[in-house]
Amino acid sequence: MADRLAEILNAKKMDNKKLFLPYLTFGYPNIPIFLDLLKICQDQGVDAIEIGIPHSDPIADGPILQQSSYHALKNGVTPKMIPEVLSSVQFKIPLIAMTYGNIVYHYGIERFGKDYQQAGFQGLIVADFPLETLPMLDDLKEMLSVIILASTNTSIERLQKIGHESRGFVYIVSGKGITGKTNIDFEKIKPVITELRKTTTIPLLIGFGVNSPEMARELAVIADGVIVGSAVVGFIAQHSDDPELISKFAGYLSQYRQVLD
């Protein structure tokens, strides 16, 4: 399958744009507001949206994303509900599912790929699947670009394999720990990016701990863009009862977009 996600993101990169991918938890704080937030993301010029599938044991997620996931599950969100809801909504920008292996496995790997592709998803991140387990996803690779995570502790040999195998983009984890981590060591990230650029032309994006527009701008100097998760969901949580959430969210996203353009 042609790597359509990489093609779209590379085209934006060729325009000298740094890529901005916010993360939203599906169904948080509720489905109608979530859909409004998705539309605002598109209106504010984000390049793609990472959508977290709520999970009862999100081991890679920090407290903010965990709470949003638990809240969505309490509201009755299921993995099968997600493509059903999004199939009726048209978005012009790529959607990327972020999940865990047991969700994809229990859903049915090929069926997951078909359902999510038809709902507008172009990429998939399986947070707890290391490189060696990727063959398990072969049945959906014709439908979704499987994005692989790399980190500052990844060996050179492994980075080379990730560069060859990842599709869509390479997700560079800023450091050890869970999402929302704030201690980012720029000097450790730079060699990772240098090594990956030797083996791939797809975008290299940094996530985990990107908690302000200023930090996003600094990281975008060394990478092709950023993924902002806990900070975005934290903003939504902080304003979830505010009748002006939607307009405030638009202003919040615009701060990131402005520093990355």
Q: Is the peptide bond before 29 cis (omega within 30 degrees of 0)?
A: yes
pLDDT in tens, 142-199: 999 999 999 999 999 999 999 999 999 999 998 765 554 556 888 999 999 999 999 9
pLDDT at residue 13, as a whole number: 84
**Number of separate domains in the chain:** 1
Does the annotation count 142 as an active-site position?
no
User: Residue 18 sits in which domain range?
Assistant: 4-260
**What sign has the CA pseudo-torsion 39, 115, 1, 149?**
positive
More confidently predicted of 180 and 41: 41
209 Ramachandran zone, left/alpha/beta (phi>0; psi -120 to 50): left
Mean pLDDT of 231-244: 97
C-alpha span between 218 and 186 (Å, rounded): 9
Catalytic residue among 15, 57, 61, 157: 61
Q: What's this model's pTM, rounded to 2 decimal places? A: 0.94
CATH number of the domain enclosing 44: 3.20.20.70
Catalytic residue among 47, 50, 115, 195: 50
Contacts of 39 (CB under 8 A, 6+ apart): none
Average pLDDT over all residues of the chain: 93
Nearest CA to 212 among 152, 252, 170? 252
